[in-house]
Amino acid sequence: MNGIVEQLSISKGGVPKYPMLQAWAGPLGLEGDVQRHTEIHGGPLQALLLISREDLDALREDGFPVVPGSLGENLTVSGIDFRQLRPGMRLRAGDAIVELTRVRRPCAQLEIYNGGETGRIQKAMLAVAARSGFYAAVLQAGAIRPGDSISLIDAAV
């Protein structure tokens, strides 16, 4: 299972997150990234949020105005079917090694994409397994850049 890191994104809290040319992934996520609601997001088990570019494209086809970084993801990834991923799987992204910890549950921060219809994007994300992305812990810190490969290195779950 191999893919490409299409975009790295950070913000000073909230969505959208904005692209970076490279970033250092450490135990608490990408350097410079801030989570607004730390009681829900962030910490060592939710250091990074990964979302599939293909899932973003599907949401856009459904009428949601989303682009990489819109959903609060740190890594927008192409070429990996997120339906095949499971918590406990380990991936190498650039120089970093991450372990998937859980599927993300879409939150109220995404209401800005609903056009006044409460919960619409959240429902669309939950309608397809793992469309909302995966949280990951950073097991080995390292640099990540757009264009880096992301590949499964340990499927033991």
Which residue carries 């990834």 as its tokens?
Answer: 77
With contact defined as beta carbons under 8 Å apart, do 89 and 130 qualify? no
Domains plus CATH for the chain? 2-154 (2.40.33.20)
- Tens digit of pLDDT for each residue in 44-93? 999 999 999 999 999 999 999 999 999 999 999 999 999 999 999 999 99
- Tens digit of pLDDT for each residue in 114-129? 999 999 999 999 999 9
SS (H, E, C) 50-114: EEEHHHHHHHHHCCCCCCCCCCCCCEEEECCCHHHCCCCCEEEECCEEEEEEEECCCCHHHHHHC
In the prediction, which pLDDT does 35 show? Answer: 82
- Indicate the residue type of 122: Q
Region of poorest pLDDT, from 34-38, 114-118, 147-151: 34-38
Instruction: Give DSSP secondary structure letters for 16-53.
Output: --EEES-EEEETTEETT---S-TTTS-SGGGSEEEEEH
Model confidence at 41, pLDDT cuts 50, 70, 90, reads confident
